[in-house]
Structure 1
């Protein structure tokens, strides 16, 4: 749609140059410029032409009465509609090209302001008597890239579904204060939203910094606790060295967090289990394995904690011999 606006501006430049030329001193010459500009198939914006001094000179009382209406006609093409032309007296008659152009421009305005855009509304606003005439006009607007739309003649009521409109209508000067007020209010709301967002961002940053400070404090406490624990004397005789506490002096513990977890998981580290296997005095094991008993008599062997953990002299065994034969 922006390309359409650019093409329309480019198409108007030749008429702007004519209005600025020395020949534009004649009111009739200026009126001819307006007629040709409004009938041209590619001109859809007219504000720049309307601002030229030669065009504005038509408002002079010295302008012939039959030519004074041309500047009003140009204003209607710039921001007015077909109904404005119908309701304004003393305007020049329109050629077929001018009438089609004004209806197309009016269609842009109606498509931007009226929802839903029914056949009835359009035909009444554009003074069209047959639906086929309306469909031809809408099709022309679509192929000229003025609107993006789809005709729905079978719906109830029949409608024209417009999805986009080219920015090809000029702004009426009297609308500018309202537009400025609307834009100012919008700017104020945007500023308020930005302030709220900035306040929320600051709050999130502050909460994040507070959480990091608490986490750092907790880590410092844990490190100090572990350091103090490592500095205290432990029962080295029971945890390393002679399990009976003989033959070695107590040592300071050098525990770390992983050492504590390993020690807790290894329950046999703190107390031994028993694993007894009985010998039969007939020279074989009592578990029916048919393996030879070298001692030749019943013997009960107690494998203590040291045998399971393998720490120091904890692997010593205590044997008990039972007298008599197994009956």
Structure 2
């Protein structure tokens, strides 16, 4: 890893999830185990705050680190910032949840070999007294309009994250188009901070289900609008993807190691870890990499068509 990238990681401040190197030695593999040799001793993963705040990475990364004898340096940021970090060549692989931003990243040539990884959904949470009376709403758009119409305070992440991207998409579906006013608070921070702020002030916010469930025992907030996992609107679906950084753009990236990591997290072993990971007795994420009928769309930007298609 270059000095520049190590300096970047050091400035993130408390956001690293660095595992211990395993028993295989640097970049090695057990003889005859069928696993490929990899180059590099450290993989930099830029990812969302939800994968960090939920605790998933602490379960997901150690088997990979142990097998290859490497460390995974996870840098949790909002999706937009995670992708921008990768654009600069300061990460090797990106795990995020905003398909439009992932597509732009690939179309611009910075990302290759995208794979569907897992999914959960978004939920609208708020205080139990529910001043906007949105509890049980089957329309998240109508719920957002009710929050605005009643001047009920809404905490927005405002941080260029996948959650913020989804939130802005939802406001765009309302008659407001764009929220404004004292009732709308943009904090420019991660999901955990947004939930803590909403909890402190007794306000509404949009959360991914995984982070909310992992923190629920410490929050006095309730889910008022469910996502599709619990029968809510498909607008609240939340798929995660993983993308390697293109070594033709940044020749300093650990591409072989990034591809080994993508292979691992989409393997039966890792998909099982994702499926079995719980917090407060609740499943937080649902594996999405393996299927009897794989989705070709996962590899290319949405809406892609071959120029030769007739």
TM-score (ref. length: structure 2): 0.23
Q: Which is richer in helix? A: 1
Higher relative contact order (CA 8 A, sep 6+): 2
Q: TM-score, normalised by structure 1?
A: 0.22
